[in-house]
Amino acid sequence: MKNILLAVVMLAMALGSCRRKETPPVPDQPESPSVSVPVFNSDSAYAFMAAQTAFGPRVPGSKAHEACALWMESQLKRYCDNVTVQPFVARSWDKRLLNGKNIIASFNPDARKRILLCAHWDSRPYADHDPNPANHRKPIDGANDGASGVGALIEVARLLSQNPLQHGVDIIFFDLEDLGEPQQEQSDLSDTWCLGSQHWSKTPHITGYRAAFGILLDMVGAPDATFFMEGTSMHYAPEIMQKVWNTAHQIGYGNYFIKTESNPITDDHLYINKLAGIPTIDIIHIDPSTPTGFFKYWHTVNDRLENIDKNTLKAVGQTVTQVIYSY
């Protein structure tokens, strides 16, 4: 996912204007409180996350990347009868052709009412925001940036298998999200981030695929994370933002979900909104106190398992679970 300043410029070009809107007051309305909602197990989500980092950095083209793809597919098949692997080829910022795989689990594939949940699973080959320049071309473990969202959603898949819903849910793990041009480079290509979601948004796994809304998880495992109401999500899907943030406040996670709008960023949800037309929000750790605007180890070699907090996984995982079971 791309750094805020550059993303603002790109979004301004894409939208023609980039005015910051006043955030309307968001009342804490109850969201269908009578529904029975399963308990999101953060130990389980953490184990699913740790299993990914144990492969090492899941950099496209590496053995770890290949092995992790097979592992995710096998995990989803434990919980879901309909798992699709969508292979694709995409061109990177440095003009290499790379093989990617989007991995998709569809619960109740025939249901018309559907919710899309997603995260990226690849890890960034460049720690280009590490304080030590010697690390700028080293890959990151991506415990938070990548593995946390996937870990949380495999746990949601486990809950869905044990507590079936009437409506459909699709869980998509996008590949090649975090391969955009390094900070120290200038590519002459545009849209070098989010290659897997760009491919899927143009060519969904099912022709004419529709979902009522989508939720993207990105960097949902750092201690004391702050999830602001991110600007791209507010532009395309303000009602979904309010629904999710209200739900978080209602079930006691208001300290994580901050009801303040922040600048728009480029992440997988931008392309799902723009190309696939599915209103999709991003639950992403934004921290205005760091130089990058993201969590403090963003795109550094310290994005490791030891810097993950199960309490944050729980806050996000339980909120998403509440939203999909209350739909």
Site residues for Zn ion per CB under 5 A = 1, 145, 178
Would you say the C-alpha torsion 180, 216, 53, 70 has a positive or negative sign?
negative
Smallest distance from Zn ion to CB 138, Å:
14
| Least CB distance to Zn ion at residue 1 (A) | 5
3-class SS shares of the chain: helix, strand, coil, % to 5? 35, 20, 45
Q: Which is nearer to Zn ion, 286 or 324 (CB)?
A: 286
Q: Which is nearer to Zn ion, 43 or 185 (CB)?
A: 185
Residue number with CB closer to Zn ion (145 or 282): 145
DSSP class of 118: E
> Given the complex with Zn ion, which of 124 and 243 has the nearer CB atom?
124
**Contacts for 212 with CB less than 8 Å, ≥ 6 apart:** 113, 114, 115, 327
Provide the β-strand partners of residue 173. Answer: 103, 119
Cα–Cα distance list, 20 to 6, 12, 235, 271 (Å) = 16, 11, 10, 20
Q: Please, what is the minimum distance in Å from the beta carbon of residue 26 to Zn ion?
A: 28
**Comparison of 122 and 170: residue with beta carbon closer to Zn ion:** 122
Q: Is 288 helix (H, G, I), strand (E, B) or coil?
A: coil
In three-state secondary structure terms, 216 is strand
CB of 67 to Zn ion, least distance (A): 21
Minimum separation from the CB atom of position 325 to Zn ion (A): 29
Distance CA 103, CA 36 (A): 29
Looking at residue 139, what DSSP letter applies? P
Minimum distance from CB of 31 to Zn ion (Å)?
30
Helix (H) or strand (E) holding 229: strand 227-230
Comparison of 183 and 255: residue with beta carbon closer to Zn ion: 183
